A and B are shown apart, each in its own frame.
Chain A
Amino acid sequence: MTVYALETEGLTKEFAGFSAVSDVALRVKRHTIHALIGPNGAGKTTCFNLLTKFLEPTRGTIRYEGHDITGARAADIARLGLVRSFQISAVFPKFTALENVRVALQRGRGASFDFWRSDRLLRHYDERARALLDDVGLDGWAERSAGEMPYGRKRALEIATTLALDPQMLLLDEPMAGMGHEDIDRIAALIKRVAAGRTVLMVEHNLNVVASLCDVITVLTRGRILAEGDYAAVSSNPAVQEAYLGAQIAGDGHG
């Protein structure tokens, strides 16, 4: 068995006229927290969409736990245990927090096409759902509607929902984007905790978070891998400094 949970080879996505992701060979070691960083437009989110098959790669292969998943469909990737989050918080806004988590737990039944049964039978997931909510610090929020929760809480809810599937690998797309310091600390601690026994690949802009949380960092610029290594190695790489800081200045600090 390979030491890598996720491997890509020659992964390429071309849109009309340009390559968003070119020839990316990404290797994510099992049970590590791996960060994907880079300036805006570097292709991080495109990469995520390719890995989870929300986008079809133009070329290249994706292997998950040794299996070629290049041809699999998005829903099937999730069933294999590779579950993603989204940059824009992905909750079911009109559902309560409890119902959000329950929809994920409901996957444990297999397919839910039984339209003639009462949804009361989903209540036996409530206990587990509450435990998951408590676990991410959302105790007392179970009955609140997700759409009305503050941003940081939504992200926590998203993680609880993701964890409800008990995935082997988590792909987190900017889990801390738009958060205040307190939320960042809490979510970072949460990620660290849930990463035990799991593999995490995350896109993150906050370099402090990346430095303290991640084992391996891959730097992407213009759709290509520029450097890879731990924080010390990557941050001292002159090419990275130039690309990253240069873009950040050019991008008026939005990076």
Chain B
Amino acid sequence: MRDAAAPAILRTKRPPDEILAIAALAALLVAAPLAIYPFLLAQALCMALFACAFNLLVGYGGLLSFGHALFFGWASYFAAHMAKGFGWPPELAIAAATLCAGALGLVAGALSIRRQGIYFSMITLALAQLGYFVALQVPFTHGEDGIQGVPRGKLFGLINLGDDFTLYYVVLAIFLFGLFGVYRIVHSPFGAVLKAIRENEPRAISLGYRTERYKLAAFVLSATLAGLAGATKAIVAQSATLTDAHWTMSGEVILMTLVGGMGTITGPVLGAFVIVAMQTYFSAMGQWVTVIQGAIFVLCVLAFRRGVVGEIAARFKISL
């Protein structure tokens, strides 16, 4: 039953709007290399996955992390070092680096989750800054230079990732895995409790839920997926640099999520593509890109609170 009063996202008999949106997005992305340079697309997909991971935490858990670059950047370093320093194949490097990011998420989450609101955000920021300065100091990250010349290698010893088209479709597969992962988490028994905590934490506690454990689990899942994005990015860009661990990266992922639509499944993907496209196609404008980004951010906050996809979803009372 379509009840106008009920927000589409939480209707009991959920129509497969979100699945349709994911399928449409997948079809679009499969065809995209016909029109756009696949290397650029692969990089954009890494950012999109990062935004989806971030959105899992803020959009469904109500936890605004200001330090997600910690997981993205460090997974990037780990994957780059494993692929270059240890000579591991790409799938192993990505998988191991992703797990490392999850472990990092467990530590950072355990330290930050006990605090609420702005205090939580500030602790995540502080931990990310700590991670940034560690990255600047330890030898294997090569400080300002970063890890360069990371070999892409052969996936499972068979598929040569040196070819940009091949690389793109492998990245697309990883991305879709991550995107569907977010969808699954959001629409799981765990997701139901997580959303309840976002809606009203004291009430969830009074129903007997140990909310801090659920928030920690969401934090770890989000950090792991952010790590998957960062690790994949290291293989795509063949480098890991301080930029990926810098606080501006944490800021960028917030921007992407807000522009696309917080708490929508596909919104952050669109947001990431908008921001990456701006950075790429407006790069001739130099520093003005940042100014335009700032203006878009202000516009979004003032006019499209729900983000582009969020506004569309609200307008048509569907869930995207």
The residues of A with any CB-CB pair to B shorter than 8 Å are: 52, 54, 73-76, 78-79, 83-86, 90-96, 98-99, 102-104, 106-107, 109, 111-119, 121-123, 126, 142-145, 148, 161, 165
In the complex the two chains form, is B5's CB within 8 Å of A79's CB?
no
Given A75-B210, A107-B209, A119-B188, A96–B203 Cβ distance below 8 Å?
no
Once A78-B207, A104-B207 are accepted as A-B contacts, the answer to whether A90 and B202 lie under 8 Å apart by CB is yes
Within 8 A of A (CB), among B165-218: 184-185, 187-193, 195-196, 199-200, 202-211, 213-214, 217
Enumerate chain A residues within 8 angstroms of B191, measured Cβ to Cβ: 115, 119
Taking A75-B209, A113-B213 as given, write out 15 further A-B residue pairs in contact, using a Cβ cutoff of 8 Å, ordered by the A residue number. A75-B205, A83-B206, A92-B199, A92-B203, A95-B195, A96-B12, A103-B192, A103-B193, A107-B209, A113-B190, A115-B185, A118-B188, A122-B192, A143-B12, A145-B6
Q: Give per-residue flags for B9-41: 1 if the beta carbon is below 8 A from chain A beta carbons, else 0.
A: 111100000000000000000000000000000
Q: Distance (Å) between the CB of A94 and the closest chain B CB?
A: 6
What 8 A-B pairs are tightest by C-beta distance, nearest first?
A78-B208, A92-B199, A115-B190, A90-B203, A112-B189, A115-B185, A79-B208, A75-B210
Decide if B221 is an interface residue (CB 8 Å cutoff): yes
Please measure, in the bound complex, the distance between the C-alpha atom of A86 and the C-alpha atom of B200, giving whole angstroms.
11
Q: Which residues of A contact B3 (CB under 8 A)?
A: 143-144
B87 at the interface (CB under 8 A from A): no
In the assembled complex, the Cα of A144 lies from the Cα of B202 at a distance in Å of 22
Nearest neighbor of A75 in chain B, beta-carbon distance: B210
Is the CB–CB distance between A107 and B207 below 8 Å? Answer: yes
Complex CA gap A229/B208 in Å reads 32
Contacts of B190 in A (CB 8 A): 112-115
Q: Within the assembled complex, what's the spacing in Å between the Cα atoms of A83 and B6?
A: 27
Give bound CA distance, A161 to B263, whole Å: 25
Q: Is the CB of A114 within 8 A of B199?
A: no
Number of CB contacts from chain A to chain B under 8 A: 125
Inter-chain contact B12/A114, CB cutoff 8 Å = no
Contact at A74–B203, with CB atoms within 8 Å? Answer: no
Supposing A90-B203, A92-B196, A103-B196 touch, asked if A115 and B10 sit within 8 A by C-beta, the answer is: no
State A94–B207 Cα separation when bound (angstroms). 17
Instruction: Please indicate which of the listed interface residues A84, A103, A104, A115 has the most CB atoms of chain B within 10 Å of its own CB.
Output: A115
- The answer to the question of B1 belonging to the interface, with a C-beta cut-off of 8 Å to chain A, is yes
Give Cα distance in the complex from A112 to B218, angstroms. 12
Which of A90, A115, A142, A145 is in CB contact (< 8 Å) with B206? A90
Q: Are A96 and B193 in contact (CB under 8 A)?
A: no
Asked if B192 and A161 sit within 8 Å, CB to CB, the answer is no
The docked-state distance in angstroms from the alpha carbon of A59 to that of B10 is: 44
Chain B hits for A112, CB < 8 A = 189-190, 192-193
What are 19 A-B pairs at a CB distance below 8 A? A75-B209, A75-B210, A78-B206, A91-B203, A94-B199, A96-B11, A103-B204, A106-B192, A113-B190, A113-B213, A113-B214, A115-B184, A115-B188, A115-B221, A118-B184, A143-B3, A143-B11, A144-B3, A145-B6
B317 → chain A, closest Cβ, in Å? 11
Tally of chain B residues near chain A (CB < 8 A) = 36
Contacts of A52 in B (CB 8 A): 206
Structural contact, B6 and A96, CB atoms closer than 8 A: yes
Considering the complex, give the chain B residue whose CB is closest to the CB of A81. B208
CB distance from A1 to the nearest CB of B (A): 24
CA distance A191 to B183 in the complex (A): 40
Chain A residue with minimal CB distance to B263? Answer: A94
> Chain A residues near B1 (CB, 8 Å)?
143
Q: CB within 8 A of B189: which of A93, A94, A109, A165?
A: A109
* Bound Cα distance from A118 to B190, whole angstroms: 9
From A86, A98, A111, A121, give the contact of B203 (CB < 8 A).
A86
Q: B7 within 8 Å of A by Cβ?
A: yes
A126 vs B280: C-alpha distance when bound (angstroms): 50
A79-B208, A103-B207, A165-B208 are contacts. A145–B188 as well, Cβ < 8 Å?
Answer: no
A117–B186 alpha-carbon span in the complex (Å): 10
Are A145 and B7 touching (Cβ within 8 A)? yes
- Give A201 Cβ to nearest chain B Cβ, in Å: 14
User: What residues of chain A lie closer than 8 Å to B5, measured between beta carbons?
Assistant: 144-145, 148
B7 touches A84 (CB 8 A): no
The one of B10, B195, B202, B221 in contact with A145, judged by C-beta atoms closer than 8 angstroms, is: B10
Q: Check if A94 sits within 8 Å of B188, measured CB to CB.
A: no
User: How far, in whole Å, are A111 and B7 apart by their CA atoms in the complex?
Assistant: 27
Contact B196 A95 (CB under 8 A): yes
